[in-house]
Every structure is written in structure tokens, then in C-alpha cells.
Amino acid sequence: MFLLYKKKCYSIFLFLGIILQSGCELHKNQSDPVKNGLADLSGIPFTSYYDIPLTGEWYFAENIFLTASEMEKYNQKELKQIGEKVRGTGCGTWSMKIKFNETCIGKRIFISTKISTAYTLMINNQIIVANGTPALSMKNAKPLWFKQNKAFIINDITADIVIHFSNYELFDGGVQKAPAIIHENQLKRKALVEMITNIVFLSCMLLMFLYHLIQYILRVKDLSELYFSLTCLIIFIRIFILEDYATMLFTGYSGFIYKISGLTVYCISTIFTLFLSDLYYHEFSKKHNKVIAFISLIAVVLTIIVPITLVRFIIIGYELFMIYIIFYIGKGMIVAFIRRRNEINIFIAGVLLIIFVTIHDILHFLSLISSIPLSQYGFFIFILLQGMGLSIRFTRLFNDNLNLNQNLENNVISRTKELYNAVENLKEVNKELSDINVLNRKELMTAQKIQNALIPQFFPDTKNIKFAALYNPMDELGGDLYDFYTINQNETGLMILDVCGHGVSSALITTMAKLSFSKNVTLSDPATIIKAVNEDICNALQEFSTFLTSFFCIIDSSKKTLRYVNAGHTTIFIISNKGDIIEIPANSPLIGVSVDLEYSTLELEINNGDRIILYTDGVFEVRNAEKIMFGTERFIELIKQCKDIPGNDFINTVHSTLIDFRKSNTFEDDIALVCIDFES
């Protein structure tokens, strides 16, 4: 495969060498027909095919428009090679005389011009070709860049050719290429060949652009495909502009078209650099790519906003910057070649080809060599080479994927057999686990029923005191609990607790705590009761690190007092009959931490119309989908809003509010809530 690439690359350079050599020989063998302002063509019958460029020594007068007769008398005229560089901006007159054979009188011949400036070409004081409006001042001049071929009749054996030109827009102004006398059939043949060549080039560029763009969009999400398609598009635009098609369509916008031709230079160099960088990203630097893109962007902006007279300076500056780009690309390609990257030979051949034709055409347009422009052929072959490289690259990747897929299919078949056997084993294990799960589920439901039995189903019948409560475990078994104790005719005990954790272990500890409270509630003093419960829990669970929080109180309906102990539990709220919130924070340590802990009893006076709210932390720790907590502030505000509704309604409102806040009727923690209302 490598030898095939080398042969193709050698064939391309051999082809270009033949073109270059034939072009040089053609120009070398043709002597300039114009000498001392006279072209003696009397030896040419003008009967067969001919193409005579009127190169050589023309008379030149700067900054003045003269007729042929005026030029003969003008003392400041000078002989110059037509096409020789003159001052970058300004105007002037070129003049020469042609001598024909007498047999040519009456014959119709064509004169072909391609002059990048505003000019008027006259033969024997008759305007034959006019491009734009040449003038002695920039204000009156109207530039136009357009190739034209016009016929004229030979009426005399001599013909005075005069060119008036003006250029105030381009740095390379003036008449850069001599007009030519050409046979009509020769002109048609050249036009036909040129048209066919351009159609082929433009069609190929457009097809390559569409093909690789579709490849990128539909199949291969590879940036190199996108960069390459954009390169083809920009080359298409550049050929379209340089071959005068844009000028023919948009007459009068020559300056704008000239700017676009500059923009294509910046875009091609940048996008092509990104194209190679994406292919060989280890050999190119993102930092250098950003520098190239940034400077190209500056050149684009300046070209758009500055006057046309300054655009050429920007293009010249960017051409100097392209030396850096060429060295940067060359360095990356050399490193990729040394590392033997895939398809590097094809891409190097394309890059060398572009460098070759670019340098050649620069030397050609500077008149340092005699040849024909090769950029169009070079870009065409270059695009074909890059397209071939991309195709080979993706074909190789496709074949690799096929091999990987085949290996994967083999592995899948093998693993499928193993998986089938494993599935059969899993089915047996799953059946066993399912049976165990059914048994465990039955036992869990039994435990749930037992725990539900621990929750008071009826509230104490205490004069002027109404109770309401809610218990909502997170799972089947919860770690929260509340209970009521009738101590005597006037005193009622109330307990709420929250065991650390969830599940079976927490449910067992709540059961143990309930039994301990029931046993010790006869001790009458809340601190003494809590201390006894702590001792029971610590002695029973001394090998386990567990604890619980609890609020225990004794309500005396005759004295209107509340004696309580808050053992590490959440703050209890009392909303008075006046709407004020009274907080009862923790005043004693947790239960189950140590048997030696001491607890203290505090007392509060209760008034008619007051409401006590006991709850566990699952109430205010409810979170919504955005992980925002319901929080204490919302809970207090809800308590205030509902102070005048019955206790049962208050409990239901809190429950529905939490469901609405969470957008779910399941919670992440157990919830216990008790409401005590003191009526008048």
C-alpha cells in the first residue's frame, strides 16, 4: 500500500513538472513582438489559428490620458515593458503601434484583455474595450475587474493601440498583463476549454463539499470531515471569484468581490490547519491553532471594515504570516511522518503540492519565471488527494470496526451460552430467595401489626383537654412512637420518642422503650421516670451503640400546669391563646448514652385556649424534588395559620401540606405528630 501511495505522489509531481516545463518552454520560445512601441505583424497572414500576446516595450505616460498622436508629441513618455510595475495607485497611458500586412485589411480579429483595473482600450481612437471608468482622480474613477474579448476590423496597415487606466484601489495597480490578438476560433476553443475545466473543477469542489458535509452530519461525527468540506467550499468560492463569474453576476461590486477573494485566503489557511490538526492532533499544538485562528479573525474583520485601498496591505501582511503557517504545518507533518501516522504520505504529498504551486504562482505573478498559473490544477489535485486520504482513513476504521464487530459477535455467542447457564442457576436461586422473601414479608407484616398495636387507638378522656395524633412510618416498621398515660383523675402523662435509625432494630427499641415508660410512669416525677427509662435502655442495650430522644410530660388539669423533661428531643411548640409561640427546647441529655446521666424537670403554666404541638424531626426534615427542606420556619408559620381550627383538622392539614410540598405521599423519615388543645 505504501508503494502505491508513493507511485501516485510521484505521478502527480511528474504531471506538474511536465506542465511547468511546457509552459516555460512556451514562454521562452515566444519573443516579445513589441519593440520600441511597434509590433511588426506584417509577416502574419491572420488566416489560421493564432494567439499573439502584445508583450514588449510600450510607451508609457504617467498621470495623464493621451491619444496616439498626443503620445507621439509628449516629451515625458518613456519605454516600459507592459506589465512592469508602476506606482501602486494613480493613472496613466500605455501606447503602441501595430503594423499589419496589406492582405489583412478588412479582416475581423479579436483582442483579448484581462486587466485588473479600470481602463479603456482604443484602436485608432475608437473605443474597443471599456472596463469601469478610468479617471484622473479617485473621486471620478469607477473600478471594475472583468475579462473581455472584443472584435475589431483591420482598416489600415497600421493600428494605434492606446490604453487609459486608473487604479486607486489595489496596491498592485496598473496594467499587469498585456492584451493579446487572437483568432476567433482560437478564442472559442480557449473559452470552451476554460469553461469545461472550470465546470469540472467547480463541480468536483461542490460535490466534495456536499459529500463530506453529509458524511459528517449523518454518519461520521469527525471534525476532520467538517473542516475538509469547508475547505472544498472555500476553494469553490475562490475559483468562482477568480474566474470572473462573480464579476459577471454582480457588476459594479468589484471591490466587494476583491475583499471576498482575500477572505478566502484567510479562511482556507485556518480551516486547513484545523483539518490537519484534527487528523494528527498529537503533532499539532492547540495554542498555535488558536494563534492562527485569532490572527485570521483579525484579518477578516479588518478586510471587511477598511477601505478597499488598504485591503491589499492586509493581504500582503497575511501572506507574510502564511510563512509561519507553512512552517508550522510542515513541522507537524514531518513529525507525523517520523511517527508513521496512518495515511501521512498522501497528506504530505497534498501539502507539498500546495506549497509547490503557491510558490510557483507567486514567482509567476512577480514575473520572476515564465510559466502558466498552476494553482487551479494544484488545488484540484490537492483536494482529490485529501479526499482519497480521508476515504482510506475511514475505510480502514470501517474495516477495523468490522473486525471488532466480528470478534464481538463471537464473544457474544460464547457469553450468551455462559449467560444462559447463569440465568438458569439464577432462576433457581431467585425462586429460593422469593420463597424466603414471601416468608420474611409475612413476618414483617406480623411485626407491623404488633407495632401498630403499640400506637394508642384511643385518647385519654380528660376534662377540657382534647388530643389528636398522626403516625406515619417511612417503612413497614418505624422508629417513632407516642403514648398516653392516665396517672390519676387530674394528671395525664404524655410521651413522644424518636429512635436513631429505621427498620426492625428501631422498632424493637421503641417497643422496649414503651414497656419501660409504662412500668415507670407511676414514679410521678418526669425526671425520675426518664432516668429510670434510661437505666433500662442502657442495661438492655449496653453492647449496642444506640440512643433515642424523648419528650415526656405530665399535664395537671386542675392546677393548669405542665411538668416536663425534653431529653435531646426536637423543640416542642406551644401556641398560646393570644397566638404567641412558646418554644420548649431540650433541657436534658439523650436516652441510652450512659446509665449515669441526670435529668431535670421543668414546669410551665397552661392557659385555656393554649395548644401544645409534639412532633419528631421527620416533620420539618421533609424535602422536595429540589432537595429543599420544609424547615422549622414553615412549620411554625403553619401552626400559626391553623391555631383556630380543631386539633384533628390541624393534624390533617399538616399531613396534606407535607405531601404537597414533597409532591409524594411517601417520606424519607418516620413522622409522629401530637396536638393537645386546652379548652375553656
pLDDT per residue as tens digits for the range 639-680: 999 999 999 999 999 999 999 998 888 888 888 999 999 986
Nearest to 353 by CA among 7, 102, 10: 10
Nearest to 184 by CA among 110, 129, 128: 110
Helical (H) or strand (E) element with 564:
strand 561-567
Lowest mean pLDDT across 131-135, 477-481, 626-630, 668-672: 477-481
Confidence at residue 191, expressed as pLDDT on a 0 to 100 scale:
76
Confidence at residue 10, expressed as pLDDT on a 0 to 100 scale:
46
pLDDT band at 80 (very low <50, low <70, confident <90, very high): confident
Q: What is the mean pLDDT of the chain?
A: 82
Q: Are 242 and 261 in contact (CB under 8 A)?
A: yes
Tell me how far apart the alpha carbons of residues 390 and 326 are, in angstroms, rounded to a whole number. 21
Q: What is the pLDDT of residues 100-124, one digit of tens each?
A: 888 888 888 888 877 777 889 999 9
pLDDT band at 23 (very low <50, low <70, confident <90, very high): very low
Who contacts 467 (Cβ-Cβ below 8 Å, separation ≥6)?
A: 459, 460, 484, 647, 674, 675, 676, 677
Nearest to 115 by CA among 149, 81, 69, 141: 149
Tell me how far apart the alpha carbons of residues 111 and 253 are, in angstroms, rounded to a whole number. 25
Three-state DSSP state, 119: strand
Q: Mean pLDDT, to the nearest integer, of 624-638?
A: 91
CATH fold match for the domains 31-182 and 454-678: no
Nearest to 362 by CA among 328, 319, 399, 401: 319
Sheet containing strand 51-53, strands side by side: 51-53, 180-182, 108-113, 148-153
503 has pLDDT over 50: yes
Confidence at residue 87, expressed as pLDDT on a 0 to 100 scale:
56
Residue 159's DSSP bridge partners are 98
Residue 372's DSSP bridge partners are none
Who contacts 67 (Cβ-Cβ below 8 Å, separation ≥6)?
A: 122, 125, 162
Tell me how far apart the alpha carbons of residues 533 and 537 are, in angstroms, rounded to a whole number. 6
pLDDT band at 502 (very low <50, low <70, confident <90, very high): confident
Q: Are 118 and 166 in contact (CB under 8 A)?
A: yes
568 has pLDDT over 90: yes
Nearest to 113 by CA among 151, 59, 170, 140: 151
Lowest mean pLDDT across 34-38, 222-226, 368-372: 368-372
Pick 446 or 484 by higher pLDDT: 484
97 has pLDDT over 80: yes
CB atoms inside a 10 Å sphere around CB 599:
22
Tell me how far apart the alpha carbons of residues 559 and 32 are, in angstroms, rounded to a whole number. 132
Instruction: Give percent above pLDDT 90 in the chain.
Output: 28
Q: What is the pLDDT of residues 121-167, one digit of tens each?
A: 999 989 988 888 899 888 888 877 666 778 888 888 899 999 998 88
Pick 93 or 12 by higher pLDDT: 93
pLDDT band at 607 (very low <50, low <70, confident <90, very high): very high
Q: Locate all alpha helices (DSSP H) within 30-101, ordered by sequence.
A: 68-73
Tell me how far apart the alpha carbons of residues 224 and 220 are, in angstroms, rounded to a whole number. 10
Confidence at residue 199, expressed as pLDDT on a 0 to 100 scale:
83
Q: Which fold has domain 454-678?
A: Phosphatase 2c; domain 1 (3.60.40)
Lowest mean pLDDT across 92-106, 113-127, 433-447, 566-580: 433-447
Q: What is the pLDDT of residues 508-548, one digit of tens each?
A: 888 889 899 999 998 989 999 999 999 999 988 877 778 89
Q: Mean pLDDT, to the nearest integer, of 347-361?
A: 74
Nearest to 173 by CA among 136, 131, 118: 118
Greatest CA separation for the chain: 149
Domain coordinates in residue numbering, the chain: 2-15+195-396, 31-182, 454-678
Instruction: Give percent above pLDDT 70 in the chain.
Output: 85
Lowest mean pLDDT across 454-468, 594-608, 611-625: 454-468
Q: Are 588 and 567 in contact (CB under 8 A)?
A: yes
Confidence at residue 299, expressed as pLDDT on a 0 to 100 scale:
92
Confidence at residue 482, expressed as pLDDT on a 0 to 100 scale:
93
Measured over the CA atoms of residue 60, residue 62, residue 67 and residue 71, the dihedral's sign is negative
Q: Are 260 and 242 in contact (CB under 8 A)?
A: no
Which CATH class for the 31-182 domain? mainly beta
pLDDT band at 85 (very low <50, low <70, confident <90, very high): low
Who contacts 384 (Cβ-Cβ below 8 Å, separation ≥6)?
A: 204
**Residue 65 φ then ψ, to 5°:** -105, 125
Pick 59 or 261 by higher pLDDT: 59
Tell me how far apart the alpha carbons of residues 39 and 35 are, in angstroms, rounded to a whole number. 6
Q: Are 651 and 469 in contact (CB under 8 A)?
A: yes
Q: Are 672 and 498 in contact (CB under 8 A)?
A: yes
88 has pLDDT over 70: no
Tell me how far apart the alpha carbons of residues 44 and 147 are, in angstroms, rounded to a whole number. 26
Q: Mean pLDDT, to the nearest integer, of 360-368?
A: 62
